[in-house]
Amino acid sequence: MAEATGERLQKLLANAGLGSRREIERWIQEGRITVNGRPARLGTRATREDRIEVDGRPVSDKRLSGRERYVILYNKPEGEMVTRHDPEGRSTVFDRLPRPPQGRWIAVGRLDINSAGLLLLTNDGELANRLMHPKYRIDREYAVRVQGEVTEEMVRQLVNGVTLEDGSARFEDVVESGGEGINRWFHVVIMEGRKREVRRLWEAVGARVSRLKRVRYGPIILDSAVRAGQWRELDKNERKALLAAVGMKPDRPWGTLFRPGQRFRRGKAQGTPWRRRRDKRHDEDG
C-alpha cells in the first residue's frame, strides 16, 4: 500500500467517478473499501498500482486512469427525488438521464422533492466536492414564492442572520421580483446548501414558501430553453467558468454525450440543441 507516496484514497476514487469525496469517506468509515486486502482508513493513500476493492469488487486500472469529464445541467421538476434509489418507488432524476460513458453521475447538491430547477450533475467527484464545499463559497440563487406579508424588518433579519436548529444562517441577498395578492416572488442568494435551508430561513421569520426553484449555481444559469425534465451539456464558456470558480485546471478532456442536432431520448428526458436565454418567468417550469 502506497501510504506515503500515493494520493488520498477518497480523492483517487472521487476522480475515478465512484462518488463524491464525502460519499467515499463514509464508505471508508463503514468498512466497504479495502486496499491490498486491508480495510482502508480515512488517512489511507493509494495509487493505480494498488488493488482497491469496493464492496468486494475490484476497481479497474482503466477506471482509475485519466477519464473524460462530463457535466450536465438538468431542470428538475417538482415531485422527483435526487437519489439513486427510492424505497417508496418515487421517480428520481436518474430515471430521466443518460448514463455517462465513464463513471456515474454525481449530483452537485440536492433539491428536495417539492423543489425544482437547476441541478448540476458530473462524473468528476473532485469537481462535485469543490462545488459543494463551503471553502469555495459557491453561491446559489433561488426564485421563491412566499405566501403572506413580507416586511422590511423580515428581510433585514434574513440578511443579517437568524438562528436555526443547526446554527445561524442568512441570505446574501433578498430581492423582491413581483407577484399578485398574497403571493410574492423573491430572488434570494445563499452561500451554502444545508438541508431545506432556504425554506427554513423563511419559516424562521414567520413566512411560508409555496414554490422554490433554483435558477443559478455559481456561474451556471438555468436558461428557459431547458424545460422541466430536460437536460443539456454545458458550453465551452460555462465549463471554463465552472472550473475557475473552484480553482481547478482544465487537466482532463471534456466528453460530449451527443452531437449537435442529435436528439437523445431515455424516459422523458432529451438532450437538444439550445440557445441561451435568461429565464424571465419564475413559474414557467417550476
**What CATH code is carried by the domain that includes residue 227?**
3.30.70.580
Q: Domain range for residue 28?
A: 7-64
Answer yes or no: do 126 and 245 share one domain.
Answer: yes
Give yes or no: 112 in active site: yes
CA distance 193 to 10: 21
82 shares a domain with 44 = no
Q: 189 and 57 in one domain?
A: no
Q: What percent of the chain has pLDDT over 90?
A: 61
CATH assignment at residue 167: 3.30.2350.10
Global pTM value: 0.74
Q: Is 283 domain-assigned?
A: no
Q: Alpha-carbon distance 142 to 160, whole Å?
A: 18
For 112-127, the pLDDT digits (tens) are 999 999 999 999 888 9
- Domain count for the chain, please give it: 3
Same domain, 129 and 238: yes
Query: Is position 202 within any domain?
Result: yes
pLDDT tens column, 175-228: 999 877 788 999 999 998 888 999 999 999 999 999 999 999 999 999 999 999
Low-confidence ranges of the chain (pLDDT < 70): 1-5, 62, 65-66, 258-286
Burial of 4 (0-12, 13-18, 19+ CB in 10 A): exposed
Catalytic one among 50, 55, 61, 112? 112
Predicted pLDDT at 4:
53
**Nearest partner of 285 among 238, 232, 230, judged by Cα:** 230
Contact 228, 130 (CB under 8 A): no
Counting DSSP H helices and E strands in the chain, the numbers are 7, 19
Place of cell 482532463: 252
pLDDT of amino acid 254: 87
Q: What pLDDT, on the 0 to 100 scale, is given for residue 68?
A: 83
Q: Give the cell for residue 242.
A: 465552472
In whole angstroms, how far apart are CA 101 and each of 46, 62, 229?
25, 13, 21
* 212/112 Cα distance (integer angstroms): 10
